Structure 1
Amino acid sequence: MSQLPDLLVAAIALVRDRRVLMVTARDREVYYMPGGKIDAGETAAEAAAREALEEVALVLDPAELDELFEVVVQAHGEPDGRLVRMRVFRAETDAAPFASAEVGSLHWVTTDETHRCPPAGAEVLTRLAAYGLID
């Protein structure tokens, strides 16, 4: 049996008032971090900034994104054993995010919403809380 390659993704953590920005896709209930796959020739920070623009209309400078941590867990909706490697970057901006065409709606969440997240998102919430960034 061939091993499926890990999904390499990057996401932003925009924290305000001890809550982090998460999004839901259209007609779906699952909360996830704004982010997506890292394209060939792109750094993780560049991918995080591109996805932030595409999903929540935030213009971020990849050079100013601080990598917080990497989450490695079973990929949501993928065959058993397929892992997602999500590199999470702290985003700092006063701009107001808004949902793009790719996103259904925005949510400011705490660990109270962990049950609404796939494994990677749940792990991100746990780690952000451990860092004292969110409730």
Structure 2
Amino acid sequence: MRLIDKIAWIHLEQGTILSTRSHGKDVFYLPGGKREPGESDVETLIREIDEELSVTVAPSSARHFGTFEAQAHGHQDGVLVRMACYTADYAGIISARSEIAEVQWLTHADRDRVSPVDQIIFDHLLDLKLLLPHL
């Protein structure tokens, strides 16, 4: 079994969650990515969010929201993704950059448009009443 270690940003506004779609991908993912050797979770979060969305995460505001695991989208069976999710404040204007083709605000009604691990997170956010069921 192979495990993909990722860090993601949970950014909610008015019951919607910020999601991104990379060029050539057919589903949305929470913004974030894989850690580089020696990076902490927060260092990875800061680097990835800057690379993908052109904003600066405030490190002192980063809070672990939860860690979730599921089959990795687009990979053979048995390849899992483990995603450590953080909330954090930021500075700047969110805009797609680098490999990101599209940025959208999603609700739970968009669950079928996201990766399997994000589906688990969407369900959890709905249970906590942090994510709207639909607009």
Q: Which runs of 4+ in 1 moved over 3 A?
A: none
TM-score for both structures, normalised by structure 1: 0.90
Cα-Cα RMSD: 1.4
Deviation (angstroms), 1:96: 2.6
Stretches of structure 1 lacking an aligned partner (at least 5 in a row)? none
How much identity, in percent, do the aligned residues show? Answer: 27
Q: Over residues 99-124 of structure 1, what are the superposed CA-to-partner deviations in whole Å (9 max), with x where a residue is unaligned?
A: 00210011000101000111011111
Count of aligned pairs between the two proteins: 132
**One-letter identity of the residue aligned with 1:129:** L
Stretches of structure 2 lacking an aligned partner (at least 5 in a row)? none
Match of 2:84 among 78, 87, 91: 87
Of stretches 91-100 and 48-57 in structure 1, the one that deviates more from structure 2 is 91-100
SS in 2 for 1:32: coil
TM-score for both structures, normalised by structure 2: 0.90
Match of 2:41 in 1: 44
Deviation (angstroms), 1:94: 6.1
Is 2:91 aligned against 1:113?
no
Does the 8 Å contact 1:10/1:86 carry over to 2?
A: yes
Is 2:26 aligned against 1:7?
no
